[in-house]
Each structure stands twice: as structure tokens, then as C-alpha cells.
Structure 1
């Protein structure tokens, strides 16, 4: 495995405490090396010593921030899922948008976040190591609430304003994400081929959930499309 190129300002830093910029560059260097090692070698075969060597940093640089390999792995996973969360947050900034369009966009973004190459590889790794290292699986499960927070916020507001009928937004967010991710399908087969297939996937999911989440018409009103 080749050694990542260190930023010049890190190479030139004087002895003593690094500047904030140098510290950030060092952290990025060893976190990138950690991700690469975990994905290529697996969790068990990866060591902090090897990560430090590959990143060109001292072991103490990593140990000052992470007490052990598990803590380092949790940060690697957290960084990966943060991207998925940020993408979902971008969907929900339009509070006045049509609920169906928001859900379509949301499902597509959840799907893309879960099937992004590195994220999917990390999820596969956690599942593969879950029996030997159950704490890894627990840490990934804990990230679920963090990732879905924007979805929960949107569904909570949609329930409050009457756009959707979702009495339990947290449960509804988990159910929607499970449908969007496709369960085990994309762990064992190739992701969808392109935008058209992704949109068809999202259309099917949103059509399904809206049957249950569309508010019932008020008493005395005729349901849209219902009998005269």
C-alpha cells in the first residue's frame, strides 16, 4: 500500500504543537488511511500502527484523538454516514414543497447515500464482522438516528401541518429508509443502473407509503377519486 502524500505545510511544521491547519491535515491524512485499510484489509487485520505508517504520522498522533481501533472505526463510519445525512438535509430545506416531490427526492437521496461505493463497502464490512465484533454493529445502529434526523424533522412538521398522517415520525422514518435502501438487495447485487431506474424505484416506494400517510378527508368531505 502506497504512502499518502502529506501536505507540504505538515511536512514543514516545526517541533511542538501543530497549528489548527496542520492538525486538520494530519487528521485527514490518517482518517483517509484508516478508511482505505479497513476496506482493503478488514477490521480485524487493520492496526493503528499500520494506519500511522501508511499515513506518514506518528502513532501518538492517532492515539491522542482515539483511544483504540474501535473508536477510530466509529469515526470512519460516522464520516461516511454524515455525507448521507447532509444530502437528506438538502432535500428538506424547501418546507413549502409538495410532499410527494419531497418524498421522491428523499428516497432517491437515501438510496444513493446507502449505495455509494465506500458507504456500501463499510456497511458490508460491519455486517461481516458483526459476530466477532458486536460493538461495531451497535455503533453503526446508533448512527441511524443521526442519519435519519432530517427525515424525522420533516415528517414531524408534515404531521403538524396536516400534509401527511404520520403519528410516529421516528418509526415512519425508519420504515421509509428501509424501503429506500432496499434491504439486503444491494448488498448482494449491483445497484440500480441509472437515474431512470432510481426514479422508478422511488416512485414505487412513495406511491406505497402515500397510501398510508395521506390524511383522511375531513368528515363530510368526499375522498379524492372516491365514489359520488
Structure 2
């Protein structure tokens, strides 16, 4: 009987030691999501300078070391927050391309609408405003977001390159064309300083006008 009690006590002690150790993969993933969400909210509400990893840890209910194990400093954490935001935008555009079955005009209209929506999503727009506001003091942050923009546009570049090879569009420089198209879709600085478009009807007209404009220059020549 004593032996059984000793075994139970030993098992309970081992369980407590494990609970104080490193979290399981599932727990680690949940903790990461928790502090990344808290980081995004803190950056957007307080700005980059006023945000601290210590405050993010308190808000997320995690230990500071949990964050520092994955990110060396606040700038590295901010880069990950920005990366996650633009990754969502890339997935939105990729969904358009994967399921494309319409002509080039309709595909481009869908792309422009999705680029517009991804750029004017409230948190993404606020994040971009933050980076622009901090660009002078933290130029590396601005460079980081600019690099992320190339990542976001990769599906658009791939589509334009494929359409050019197939002779459906004349886009000899798909990388440049993708940047030009995205600049038109995002509206330049317009949506940083004014309200987004009123709704789906206005957004569709915006996209159609942009696509009709670029197709005049991208249309294959008659003898191509």
C-alpha cells in the first residue's frame, strides 16, 4: 500500500514538473497567437515607440521570456506583425488567381478589387499609416514593409507573366506592371487621408475604370 502511495506521489510530482516546463506544441501555438494579436493592438493603439514587449506580454498573459525566445527585439516583433498582415492580403489575391476561369478583363477587375480591399482593411490600413509615420525615425521598418509588398504582389506578377507568355496581354515587365496596377488599385495616398469607397458598387466602378485604363496599354498588338 505504501508502495502505491509513493508511486502516486511520484506521478503527481512529475506532472507538476511537466506543467512548469515548456508548453506543448499546441499550447505554444496558442501563446504565439495571443501575444502577436496583443502586439498588433498595442502597435496600432500606442504607436511603435510607446509599445513595449513587457506591456505586450502583460496584455497577452504570457511571460516576457516567451516573446524573447522567438523575437530578439521589438523591431523583429513588429516585422512579424507586418508580415502576417500582408500575408493575409497575398492569400486574398491568390484565391482570385487559383480560381480564375474568366477572361483577362474580369480577372484583373477581381484582382484590383481584392487589392483594394486588402489595402483598406482597417487594421492593415492603420498598420501602413503607422509605418509611414515612423519611416523617418525607423527607416528599416519602412524598407521591411516595402519588401513585404513584393511578396504580396508575387501572385499578380505570376499571372501577368503567364498572360504575356500566352499572348493574351502585352506585359514585358510583369514586376513593374504589378506595382503600377497595385498603386492604382490602392489609390495612392487617397485612402490614407480620406474615407474608403462607399460600398461594393462604387468599388466595382473603381476597379473597372482602372482595368479599362491599363488594358489600353496591355492589349496585344494586332500583329502579335
TM normalised by structure 1 equals 0.89
1:24 aligns with 2:34: no
CA displacement 1:174-215 (0-9 Å, x = unmatched): 000000000000000000000000001001100000000010
* Partner residue in 2 for 1:61: 66
| CA shift digits 1:7-57 (9 cap, x unpaired) | xxxxxx811121110000000000000000000000000000110011110
Aligned runs of 1:30-41 on 2, under 5 Å? 30-41=35-46
Unaligned residue ranges in structure 1 (runs of 5+): 1-12, 220-228
Q: Distance in 2 between matches of 1:152 and 1:53?
A: 42
Secondary structure of the residue aligned to 1:165 is coil
C-alpha RMSD of matched pairs (Å): 1.0
Which residue of the other structure, out of 90, 95, 113, is the alignment partner of 1:90?
Answer: 95
Is 1:211 aligned to residue 216 of structure 2? yes
CA distance in 2, matches of 1:135, 1:117: 23
> What secondary structure sits across from 1:92 in the alignment?
helix
1:100 aligns with 2:105: yes
Within 2, Cα distance between the matches of 1:77 and 1:63?
18
* 2: CA distance, partners of 1:174 / 1:86: 17
4+ residue segments displaced more than 3 Å: none
Q: 1:94 Cα shift?
A: 3.6
Question: If the length of structure 2 is used for normalisation, what is the TM-score?
Answer: 0.91
Given candidates 85, 89, 93, the residue that maps to 1:80 is 85
| Contact 2:100 2:107 (8 Å CA) reproduced | no
Distance 1:95 1:87 in 2: 13
Give the match for residue 124 of structure 1.
129
- Cα 1:19–1:137 shift into 2, 3 Å: same
For 1:131 and 1:185, the matched residues in 2 are separated by: 21
The answer on 1:151 being equivalent to 2:156 is yes
2:143 pairs with 138, 142, 162, which one?
A: 138
CA shift for structure 1 position 95: 5.1
Question: Aligned match of 2:190 in 176, 185, 191?
Answer: 185
1:46 is matched with 51
Structure with more of its chain in helix, by fraction: 2
Q: Distance in 1 between matches of 2:99 and 2:51?
A: 43
CA distance in structure 1 between the partners assigned to 2:163 and 2:196 by the alignment: 30
1:24, 1:130 → 2: CA distance?
Answer: 31
The structure with the larger Rg is 2
- State the number of aligned residues: 207
Unmatched runs of 5 consecutive residues or more in structure 2: 1-17
